[in-house]
Amino acid sequence: MNKSSTSTIPQTESDQVKPARPETRSRKWLERLKSFAPLLALVVLCLLIGLFNPRFFDFFNFVRIANSAAIPLVLALGATFVILLGSVDLSVEGILALGAVVVAILVRNDMNQNSFGWTAPIFAIIAGAAIGFLNGFVHVRVRIPSFMVTLGSWFVGIGLATLILGGRNARVLDPEIRSLALTRFFNFPLAVWVALGVLAVAWLIERFTIFGRHVLAIGGGEDLALLSGIHVNRVKVLVFTLAGAFYGIGGVLAAAQLGQGNATIGDGRLFSTITAVVVGGTSLSGGAGGVLNTLVGVLIIAVLGNGMVLLGISPDIQQAVQGIIIIIAVASSIDRQRMKFVK
């Protein structure tokens, strides 16, 4: 009896241990492959477009792609931190419009005698951060879902921009502000370098600050974050405030690029912003992804748009393609085991 019993125990233990190892390895391999999927998709997309139209690889075409990606990158970086929480921010267009209008009326323009120069962008960023703070404060204090709060802020921003200008356009006549779009450094507009600077700041915040680690922890599991002693509500308010500041910077760049500020300057930016974040691999469930993923996502959208123009594809089909891409990206990014109502 003893021999038989002792001989069966190791067999049972080995049966339990051996099958687990290949499964664990395969899961890790799949997770690594999944993390590089957006980057691989970007490379393949570039090669395919270049195959059908060699002009895609022209240096000045890369400059056009970088210029078109500057504002979407700044906006998407702000949205990335919110989505990492597992929340969503729909106030992008409203805050961008308000920031652009604030800049337009404070610098030299065709509506008043103001000439605040480089001080004006600071006010635009503060205005964006203030609305972002209200988003976070109302979300955590009143316990209203983030998409509802930010949807309201979207219309608040548009309403304030319309009220300030009375429904008109304010032309930006300040050459210093316009230089963000017109002046080039190493052949790239200054707006591109500003966007890269914002990317560097966002990356440093995400990777090397306690705040950045707390954002990922909350997105990974809010209950566990609370038990770990993280001030969840405080972090959420700071995240929405940071996102609002980034949207304000986007408003400054938009006003400089278009040479004007108005209430409709941000139309269509929300879709491209959320698309870029999700396509880059940041999960809508929160806790997975990051700002470098967002950079890849923004480039995928910019390259796709540029490529379809080079290939002569009609705008209607372009919108349909972008819609299909975001559906696929959302379907692949959602962790269905953790799926629940948006936080």
- Percent pLDDT > 90 in the chain is 66
- The pTM of the whole model exceeds 0.85: yes
Q: Look at residue 286 in the predicted model and tell me its pLDDT.
A: 83
State the number of CA atoms in the 13 A half-sphere of 227 facing the CB. 5
Query: Does residue 334 carry a pLDDT above 80?
Result: no
Chain segment 292-305, per-residue pLDDT in tens:
999 999 999 999 99
Across the range 280-293, mean pLDDT stands at: 88
User: Beta-carbon neighbour count of residue 135 at 10 Å?
Assistant: 31
pLDDT of 329 reads: 67
- Which is it for the CA torsion 303, 297, 157, 104, positive or negative? negative
Q: How far apart are CA 31 and CA 19, in angstroms?
A: 19
Sequence-distant contacts of 32-39: CB under 8 A, at least 24 apart: 34/281, 35/281, 37/281, 38/279, 38/280, 38/281, 38/293, 38/296, 38/297, 38/300, 39/296
28-42, 136-150, 153-167, 328-342 — which is least confidently predicted? 328-342
CA dihedral over 190, 191, 194, 199, signed as positive or negative: negative
CATH number of 64-333: 1.10.3470
In the predicted structure, residue 251 carries a pLDDT above the cut 90: yes
Shortest CA distance to 250 belongs to which of 95, 132, 135? 95
To the nearest whole percent, how much of the chain has pLDDT over 70? Answer: 85
User: Token pair of 68, please?
Assistant: 């078109």
- Mean of pLDDT values over 31-57: 87
pLDDT band at residue 315, thresholds of 50, 70 and 90?
Answer: confident
Please provide residue 107's backbone torsions phi and psi, each rounded to the nearest 5 degrees. Answer: -90, 180
Residues 142-183: pLDDT tens digits? Answer: 999 999 999 999 999 999 999 999 888 999 999 999 999 999
